[in-house]
Amino acid sequence: MLRQKKNLSQEGLAQKLFVSRQSISKWENGEVEPSIDKLIMLAEIFAVDLDFLLLGKSQHDEVILKMAKVQKHFDKAVLRDVNLEVRSRDRIALLGSNGSGKTTIVNLILGAYRPNGGQIQRYFKPEDDLSVMPQENHLLEALRLKEQVALSAKIQGQYKAQNLKELVNQFHLTDQSRKLISQLSGGQKRRLALLLALLKPSKLVILDEPTVGMDLESIDFFWSYLEHVSGAVITITHDFNQIDRYFNRVLLLKDGVIAADERVATIHSNNQTIEQWYRANNQSQEQPA
């Protein structure tokens, strides 16, 4: 998948790694594993963490979350019968009109809401293996940016001052590091919220409308950074320009159920963009946010 994304043939990759094309073919078929020095080279060529390559095999296709017949109502029913299985390598875009219940699903997964019916099974420890970037930033406005990063890192047991400095730099926030959070722009706050959500490696990362308020440069940075995340990702987004590129699966929430659950590759093979697919499947509803 990574090789194809880079438009590299097996032959081309073999030349870069000083191995035969047959070796690449055997690795890709799962017959043989690359040695660690080749894995390090692969991580560099594909610009992914080594962890991503190492975990990729052991976590392949592992179910990490199951929702069965889940119901949630407030004044009226929001979720009537939600059935969903999330696997460890999924890159899911969760789509649906305003008020269809997307954030409610996120809150149920987090355990912030209890379902009125049905079951939710998490095959991971939420306190260790779940990271969330909520729709509203949960930042401490009175802290300086570097203090907020240090505090969150300490809470999550990820405190290494040098690593944090590098992370702040990667997120292009070094110039803001001494500023009070209350003085940051909306886009800078979103970038900081993403940094905090990704401080530790997680089995499941949930992002609720992450790019709202970001400028184009930050949006590009955001999506390219997410490529490096090794766990499953569920994102609520209407950033249709990116769904085609980044995600491998789309869900449409409509009338309280997952009305459509499709592989992005299948949609593309039908010569549709995700936006066209969304409009065709969500026709009777209002336009997205």
- Interacting residue ranges for ligand ATP, rule: CB under 6 A: 74, 78, 96, 98-104, 289
Q: Which is nearer to ligand ATP, 100 or 188 (CB)?
A: 100
Least distance (Å) between residue 184 CB and ligand ATP: 23
Q: Which of 102/146 has CB closer to ligand ATP?
A: 102
Cα dihedral: 138, 143, 147, 150 (round 10): -20
Work out how close the CB of 131 gets to ligand ATP at its nearest, in angstroms, rounded to a whole number.
Answer: 19
Q: How many whole angstroms from its chain centre is CA 58?
A: 19
| Residue nearer to ligand ATP on the CB measure, 103 or 176 | 103
In whole angstroms, the minimum distance from the beta carbon of 226 to ligand ATP comes to 20
Q: Which residues contact 207 (CB under 8 A, 6 or more apart)?
A: 132, 133, 194, 197, 233, 234, 235, 236, 237
Q: How far apart are CA 73 and CA 119, in angstroms?
A: 15
Least CB distance to ligand ATP at residue 220 (A): 23
The Cα 21–Cα 201 span in angstroms is: 33
Comparing CB distances to ligand ATP, the nearer of 99 and 117 is 99
Alpha-carbon distance values, 153 to 8, 46, 52, 235 (Å): 38, 28, 21, 23
Q: How far is the CB of 99 from ligand ATP (least distance, A)?
A: 4
Q: CB nearer to ligand ATP: give 173 or 214.
A: 214
